[in-house]
């Protein structure tokens, strides 16, 4: 059994995540109609980035072609280290090259999905060149409507 460092938090149980639906899609992102899902599609979420998300019905609000990263970082607000956070996109990283970063690179986050994320130094744990989606969904946990959740990938959604 792998021992978990008490000073870390893992994406698998990211119930600590407070959703920030005020954060906007970066202006330099390229929308696409070539992804698996289109704006307006009704989908079911198969991933559990947040409590109440897995199995929730959702509507696709945006689709963008980009590099998506799994990152680990120490929040700037002093909270515990976050491991394997899905997803941060290329356009949310300072001085991002057009052809993306590589696994193992150290970067400065400009994303603000979570408190303490913006300005944090992060390690790239994994990279996918993919279509990412913004979705609205109704939480299975508390029935709250979550607007503009960023980001989901096609393999985390299924058509309904």
Q: What is the pLDDT of residue 94?
A: 97
Residues forming beta bridges with residue 62, ordered by sequence position:
134
> Using alpha carbons only, how large is the chain's radius of gyration in Å?
15
- What are the backbone dihedrals phi and psi of residue 90, each rounded to the nearest 5 degrees, phi first? -50, -40
Question: Confidence band (pLDDT; 50, 70, 90) for 23?
Answer: low
| Residues in the chain, overall count | 160
| Whole-angstrom distance, CA of residue 94 vs CA of residue 22 | 20
Q: Per residue in 100-139, pLDDT tens?
A: 999 999 999 999 888 999 999 999 999 999 999 999 999 9
Which helix (H) or strand (E) element contains residue 157?
A: strand 157-159
Q: Per residue in 41-65, pLDDT tens?
A: 999 999 998 899 999 999 999 999 9
* 10 pLDDT above the threshold of 70: no
Residues forming beta bridges with residue 121, ordered by sequence position:
108
Q: Which of 62, 149, 76, 146 is nearest to 110 (CA)?
A: 76
| Whole-angstrom distance, CA of residue 125 vs CA of residue 118 | 18
| Whole-angstrom distance, CA of residue 24 vs CA of residue 2 | 37
Is 9 or 99 the better-scoring residue by pLDDT?
Answer: 99
Q: pTM, whole model, 2 decimals?
A: 0.85
Q: What is the 3-state secondary structure (H, E, C) of 82-130?
A: EEEEEEEEHHHECCCCCCCCCCCCEEEECCCCCCCCCCCEEEEEEEEEE
60, two tokens: 């696709």
**Superfamily classification of domain 29-159:** Domain of unknown function DUF1541 (2.30.30.1210)
Q: What is the pLDDT of residue 114?
A: 87
Is 156 strand, coil or helix? helix
């Amino acid at each position: 059994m792998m021992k978990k460092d008490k000073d870390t938090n893992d994406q698998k149980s990211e119930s600590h995540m407070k959703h920030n639906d005020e954060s906007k899609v970066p202006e330099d992102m390229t929308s696409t109609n070539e992804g698996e899902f289109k704006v307006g599609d009704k989908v079911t979420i198969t991933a559990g980035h947040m409590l109440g998300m897995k199995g929730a019905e959702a509507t696709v609000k945006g689709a963008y072609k980009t590099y998506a990263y799994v990152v680990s970082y120490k929040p700037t607000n002093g909270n515990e280290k976050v491991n394997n956070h899905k997803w941060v996109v290329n356009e949310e990283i300072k001085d991002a090259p057009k052809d993306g970063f590589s696994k193992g690179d150290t970067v400065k986050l400009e994303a603000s999905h979570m408190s303490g994320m913006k300005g944090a130094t992060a390690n790239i744990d994994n990279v996918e060149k993919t279509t990412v989606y913004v979705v609205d969904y109704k939480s299975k946990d508390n029935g709250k409507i979550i607007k503009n959740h960023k980001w989901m990938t096609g393999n985390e959604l299924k058509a309904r």
